[in-house]
A = this chain, B = another copy of it.
Amino acid sequence: MEALAGRVLAAVRQQALIPRGGRVLVALSGGGDSVALLCLMAELARHSELSLVGIAHVNHQLRVPASDEDADFCRALAAQFELPCVVETVDVAMLARQEHISVEHAGHQARHQCFDRVAEQFGATEVALGHTLDDQAETYLLRLFRGAGAAGLSAMRPRLGRVVRPLLTIRRAELRAYLTSRQISFLEDPSNLDRQVPRNRVRHDLLPNMERYAPGVVERIARSAEIARADEEWLGLAASEAAVSIVKRIKSGVEVEAGRFASLPLALARRVAKDLLSQVSRKAVGFDQIERFRALAVGGPMRIDFPGCRAERTRGMVRLVTRRGRGVPTGSEPFQYRLEVPGEVAVPEAKLVLSADLVGKDSVKLRPSQENGLPLEQAVSADVAAGPLVVRCWRPGDRFRPLGLEGHHKKLQDLFVDRKVRQDERSRVPVVLDGTGRVVWVVGLGLGDDFRVTEATASVLILRVRSLGDKL
């Protein structure tokens, strides 16, 4: 195997981005990074490390007619690799105007919606994006310019749901050298040179300047991002747990016990305040708003109007209510989390914590499941369930092969109907999927037949549910 492909494979395995049986869809812009990604994934596929199921390209229509030529380039490259290619055309500029968001944000949204559709169509378990180590350092610095905390400074995740970034440990220059040495052509997007765009200034001016007197700075910044990501995971979990016992949902928002909020450690108080403000206002929340909310809770002003919501302090309680007579936040926002093995993850949307532990087969002694209360436990064959696990809400179209249905598929929607789960409760039911996207467990409702523990099972995974806020 080529040296660079070997390094990519090592990173992919070490971070469990793509399992050996993974069915990978490559997101292709036609630029150098994504073309290199395609070549490297194809190389790994040749060595049977994964299988490539196709290519997705979004034509943003931002540079007519160049955008159409880019799409043609991607189609031609797909043909060369003998891969199916879906090109979706989206008028991103119009979308941005309609939704009152930036063109960048609209493009991001359009791309990810496209990737989701095409992944379903091709049965892809992973969607690979071509972000590099340089992109990671750029993102970190752009977030630092806004005075971000650990969440922002985590920058880009190697994996989020089925989106994976296999090149996040590779320098951009290495990819260019790889393409050059193989005489593989790619597109140069002239907008990447536009110094009006903050990222381009960071890329072409600031980072090279920093690198001159701090060699290795790109790698070091990426390391700080990695450390911040682990910190944020734990702090976010601790904050969710802290919130559960002091926050109550009320008709048009939430109510918080001021005294107990004020006595939280600062790191948790800031996160709880941010979560509450963004839940009720449904807007992005900045540091200044967080600090003003904290000031009110500890006895500053009695009332503050925030964008989209209002905070008031009365008799030891802080009420945070929506300002536009909109509905209560229902807690039915889509969610998706990664579940490490062993590890645990808070699912605030379901008010649950899910944990996964590996045990020897002999030591399996399950507490009886209580289907109308917690705790719930499920033993699963760890031989079959390829990590990392994902916990997410039900999506229309989700199917699994339930126990005792002789291998036939069943839609989760039909399961909900059979088990009399109300429409408004369905989006809160956590579904555990394995690394290849198969449904392992519909929590409290059913186990995938593929994953049951049999005579042949060597090692067993215990999935456990407890109420968020309960101590272990």
Interface residues of A (CB under 8 A from B): 144-150, 153, 198, 201, 205-206, 209-210, 213-214, 217, 219-224, 227-228, 230-231, 233-235, 237-238, 263, 265-268, 270, 287, 342-343, 471
What are some 13 contacts across the A-B interface (CB < 8 A)?
A144-B221, A146-B220, A147-B223, A149-B227, A153-B224, A205-B209, A230-B265, A230-B266, A230-B270, A233-B265, A233-B266, A234-B238, A237-B265
Asked if B147 and A219 make an inter-chain contact with CB atoms under 8 angstroms apart, the answer reads: yes
Contacts of A265 in B (CB 8 A): 230, 233-234, 237, 343
Q: Would you give the shortest CB distance from A291 to chain B, in whole angstroms?
A: 10
Closest 8 CB pairs of A and B: A147-B220, A147-B223, A230-B266, A234-B267, A149-B227, A145-B214, A234-B265, A231-B267
Q: Would you give the shortest CB distance from A104 to chain B, in whole angstroms?
A: 17
Asked if B144 and A267 make an inter-chain contact with CB atoms under 8 angstroms apart, the answer reads: no
Asked if B287 and A223 make an inter-chain contact with CB atoms under 8 angstroms apart, the answer reads: yes
Q: Which of A213, A219, A263 has the most CB of B within 10 A?
A: A213
Asked if A235 and B235 make an inter-chain contact with CB atoms under 8 angstroms apart, the answer reads: yes
Contacts of A221 in B (CB 8 A): 144, 147
Bound form: Cα–Cα A222–B471 in Å: 36
Bound form: Cα–Cα A148–B217 in Å: 11
Asked if B144 and A224 make an inter-chain contact with CB atoms under 8 angstroms apart, the answer reads: yes
Asked if A227 and B287 make an inter-chain contact with CB atoms under 8 angstroms apart, the answer reads: yes
Asked if B145 and A220 make an inter-chain contact with CB atoms under 8 angstroms apart, the answer reads: yes
Q: Would you give the shortest CB distance from A117 to chain B, in whole angstroms?
A: 34
Q: Would you give the shortest CB distance from A168 to chain B, in whole angstroms?
A: 15
Bound form: Cα–Cα A206–B287 in Å: 25
Q: A149-B224, A234-B238, A237-B265 are in contact. List 10 more A-B contacts (CB 8 A).
A: A144-B220, A145-B214, A146-B220, A147-B220, A147-B221, A147-B223, A150-B227, A230-B266, A263-B342, A471-B471
Contacts of A230 in B (CB 8 A): 265-267, 270
Contacts of A213 in B (CB 8 A): 198, 201
Bound form: Cα–Cα A98–B270 in Å: 46
Q: Would you give the shortest CB distance from A324 to chain B, in whole angstroms?
A: 30
Contacts of A227 in B (CB 8 A): 147-150, 270, 287
Q: Would you give the shortest CB distance from A140 to chain B, in whole angstroms?
A: 8
Bound form: Cα–Cα A84–B369 in Å: 76
Asked if A228 and B150 make an inter-chain contact with CB atoms under 8 angstroms apart, the answer reads: yes
Q: Would you give the shortest CB distance from A157 to chain B, in whole angstroms?
A: 14
Q: A209-B209, A210-B206 are in contact. Are A231 and B147 (CB under 8 A)?
A: no
Bound form: Cα–Cα A217–B206 in Å: 13
Asked if B234 and A145 make an inter-chain contact with CB atoms under 8 angstroms apart, the answer reads: no
Asked if B233 and A234 make an inter-chain contact with CB atoms under 8 angstroms apart, the answer reads: no
Q: Would you give the shortest CB distance from A388 to chain B, in whole angstroms?
A: 13
Contacts of A150 in B (CB 8 A): 150, 227-228, 231
Q: Would you give the shortest CB distance from A312 to chain B, in whole angstroms?
A: 24
Q: Would you give the shortest CB distance from A194 to chain B, in whole angstroms?
A: 13
Bound form: Cα–Cα A342–B259 in Å: 11
Q: Would you give the shortest CB distance from A210 to chain B, in whole angstroms?
A: 6
Q: Which of A148, A230, A471 has the most CB of B within 10 A?
A: A230
Contacts of A224 in B (CB 8 A): 144, 147-149, 153
Bound form: Cα–Cα A265–B209 in Å: 36
Q: Would you give the shortest CB distance from A245 to chain B, in whole angstroms?
A: 13
Q: Which of A222, A266, A270, A471 has the most CB of B within 10 A?
A: A266
